[in-house]
Chain A
Amino acid sequence: MPRIQANELNFHIQQSGCGPDAVLIHGLTGDLSIWFLSRLMPVLSETHRVTAYDLRGHGYSDAPAEGYTSSAQAGDLLALLDVLGIERARLVGHSFGAVIAMHAAVLAPERVEALVLSDPYYPALRHLEDMSRWGHWQNFRQEALDAGVNLSVDSWYDLTTFFDQVKHLDEEGLLKFRQAVGLPGWKRVLRLAQTTCGEDAKQVDGLTAELIHAVDCPTLALYGEHSPFLSTGEYLVSRMPNCRSCLVPEAKHRAPEENPEGFRIAVADYLESLQLAEPQGVCS
């Protein structure tokens, strides 16, 4: 299993293909397996050198107690690019992975050739979303309810409260629950619950609306047709100078899982539409 050290942490990475660099960034509680399950990794590696990594606290990467804000994790990403010798990359992020990607584009615009933002919600743009509905949380609650778990209405992304509500489940109940809501192995979820991740991810952390407006690399705001965060998608398209939108049919917040083919086609078509700034031909 390829592991590389960056920011004094070990990161699990996977790399394949030749061509311009693309880096895939998964969301909170997920891991890089999503790029294999959705088949985005093998498809993109036909035309790109694709690098996927497990975020800190996730998958097979180290899980320090702190440092889960978008700026800290953008720092991880930029450090990984340094170690891997990647000068400039197309970033594909899902959910909080797309917050990290945006923050990297703010911190180091010269390193980011393009952005594909899959269904993110930005803490600085919180006012855009209907707080009374909390669409994503409502979806999640419904999925949990279908698996027999009635989560409280006010524990959105509060991982500690959230874990307290499911730790009484037996093994079968836990499995049913994590399959229903798309959570990875339980040990890793509990490991993440020991960190500041849940709290950190809610922070604006310097990624203000003004800075988001100024990101001018080619950007795709890719949202599920039934995403709870469509208002954010529309806002990004209206404010960012080089941002266009695309909807993945029959998907809510987790398009890579809910409609992997639609997701894959949207990402691959967009990256194919980009003109290369300079000839590149690097192989992993």
Chain B
Amino acid sequence: MNTTAEHSEAELLEALREIFRDGLGIDPISPIEPETRFFADLGLASIDAVVLGEVIQAHFARPLPYEVLMAEIGGRAQRDIAVSELIAFLKTHL
């Protein structure tokens, strides 16, 4: 999906499902939804979030300010992030 066109939230959700499946090997029985949480629901860890950043940037073929998002997660008490927040991040920066 190497395009500069605006992405709808549905398209981004689908792209993230593909990225989780192909990039991280995460393909849960119940599909990933906007409210799915990275750590609590998918059982992932912050190192997976680092790798996810690389896969996302490779998928969209452009650099994104992903380190800002990582630092923000680091400041959270629960250190978790919902897929909807990833979608919002992508909508802002793609």
Q: B79 near A41 (CB under 8 angstroms)?
A: no
The B interface is mostly helix, strand or loop, or mixed, namely helix
Contacts of A34 in B (CB 8 A): 46
Contact, CB under 8 Å: B54 / A33: no
Contact of A39 among B40, B54, B74 (CB under 8 A): B74
Partner of B47, one of A42, A60, A186, A260: A60
Q: Does B50 contact A (CB under 8 A)?
A: yes
Taking a contact as CB atoms closer than 8 A, the residue among A38, A41, A184 that contacts B45 in the complex is A184
Contact residue among A36, A171, A185 (Cβ-Cβ distance under 8 Å from B74): A36
Beyond A33-B47, A184-B45, A185-B48, 10 extra complex contacts between A and B, CB < 8 Å: A31-B45, A31-B46, A32-B50, A37-B71, A37-B79, A38-B71, A54-B47, A60-B47, A185-B44, A186-B43
Q: Could you pull out 5 A-B pairs where Cβ atoms are within 8 angstroms?
A: A33-B50, A36-B49, A39-B67, A184-B46, A185-B45
CB neighbours of A38 from chain B (8 A): 71, 74
Q: Which chain A positions have C-beta within 8 A of B73?
A: 37
Known: A33-B70, A37-B73, A179-B79. A1 touches B51 (CB 8 A): yes
Q: Which chain A residues border B74 with CB–CB below 8 Å? A: 36-39, 257, 260
Convert A8-36 into 0s and 1s, putting 1 for each residue whose CB lies closer than 8 angstroms to a CB of B. 00000010000000000000000111101
B37 to chain A, nearest CB (A): 10
Interface residues on A, range: 20 to 34
CA distance A31 to B71 in the complex (A): 15
Are B79 and A188 in touch, CB under 8 angstroms?
no
The answer to whether A260 touches B43, judged by C-beta atoms less than 8 angstroms apart, is no
Contact assessment for A185 and B43 in the assembled complex, using a CB-CB cutoff below 8 Å: yes
CA distance A123 to B31 in the complex (A): 48
CA distance A201 to B39 in the complex (A): 28
Q: Give CA–CA (A187, B47) in the complex, Å.
A: 12
* B43 and chain A: residue at smallest CB distance: A185
B4 within 8 A of A: no
CA distance A1 to B24 in the complex (A): 11
Interface pair A36/B70, CB less than 8 Å apart: yes
- Within 8 Å CB of A31, what residues of B? 45-47
Q: Which residue of A lies closest to B53 (CB)?
A: A36
A41 adjacent to B75 (CB under 8 Å):
no
**Chain A residues closer than 8 Å to B44, beta-carbon distance:** 185
Question: Do the beta carbons of B40 and A33 come within 8 Å of each other?
Answer: no
Which of chain B's residues have a CB closer than 8 A to the CB of A60?
Answer: 47, 51
Q: Known: A36-B74, A185-B47, A257-B74. Is A175-B79 also a contact (CB below 8 A)?
A: no
Q: B8: CB under 8 A from chain A? A: no
B92 contacts the other chain (Cβ, under 8 Å)? no
A179 and B67 contact, CB distance less than 8 A = no
Q: Indicate if the CB atoms of A36 and B67 lie closer than 8 Å.
A: yes
Give A38 to B55 CA distance when docked, in angstroms. Answer: 21
Of the candidates A34, A37, A257, the one having the most CB atoms from chain B within 10 angstroms of its own CB is: A37
Once bound together, how far apart are the Cα atoms of A43 and B43, in whole Å? 29
Residue A93 interfacial (CB < 8 Å):
no
Q: List chain A residues, Cβ under 8 A from B79.
A: 37, 179
- CB pair B43 A36 closer than 8 Å: no
Query: Is A42 a contact of B71 with CB atoms below 8 Å?
Result: yes
Interface bits A37-73 vs B (CB < 8 Å: 1, else 0): 1110110000000000010000110000000000000
Chain B residues, CB < 8 A from A32 = 47, 50
Rounded to whole angstroms, the CA-CA distance of A258 and B36 in the bound complex is 26
Residue B78 interfacial (CB < 8 Å)? yes
- Return the chain A residue nearest B50 by Cβ: A33
* Ranked 10 nearest A-B pairs via Cβ: A37-B74, A185-B45, A33-B46, A39-B71, A36-B70, A184-B45, A31-B47, A42-B67, A33-B47, A59-B47
